[in-house]
Structure 1
């Protein structure tokens, strides 16, 4: 994991099981870890985050080799694989823990993310304005072990088969050039 070419991105875009499953497939992504960020509670549990009282978002921390995949490409996947126009909601998941937010880890990421959101809104890429916030990364708390690599460990669970698998298949179809062979 220690490479001079590694950088970290942190995205909140709904259920971290779905996000983890998609970003794990990208060539150049070294590690994807689900967790919680942006709230007021130290070391929150999944139950606390789901209660909506911690103000944390379900998020993923992505370690990537920027010589293999750019932050810009990760932003493309981020915006294409969730609805960035709904405030505190992704599909049937409702609450601040499911918000769309980018937590930048460098000034360059901040510039790129803000520009990306601006262009999406100016070009009217979506039917409604993008509500994705761009915020400085705060402490990231790793999710409990049973959340790690969830889709790969439980492909036959109903949620994985009915929700995550179609999202992963759609991603692989539209982003073939990014997918690890």
Structure 2
């Protein structure tokens, strides 16, 4: 083995990993879900993502930048699922059913999503310059609803979706589908 090969074999080759940034964001959400924003550290994220601690600095300027990207990913993912349901609706009746499904089938309010949403709201309340994160999420949800309802009705439905989702998560007797549908119909009748 010549001298040059010896030098190369002692060095660890950097491997290209096109999914690393996405893995870091996913790992960040896992850490936030388990430990909360306050307990999230770059060390925990790197461990969950199975990457070197130093590789985080290649993609993210700070822990706050990483948290912002993770929450943006979460809101985009949920908004896309929300939008897909409503875009598939061909009639107003289909749209009402889609809204009921979003609530009743925990499209938005799965235990994981609710926990992460609470962490997002708490994080933003302490970092007001990031208010655009939940605002964008609300805007995307309302735009999806506005395909079938007036803007004011879309806004009311958006608040109802979130409110019932939160209450159903913690209520000993969650609101049954038939009651959810009745409420949605009452609000939808406004426009």
Tell me if TM exceeds 0.5. Answer: no
Bigger relative contact order, structure 1 or 2, given CA contacts below 8 A and separation 6+?
1
For the pair shown, which has the larger CA radius of gyration, 1 or 2? 2
Structure with greater helix percent: 2
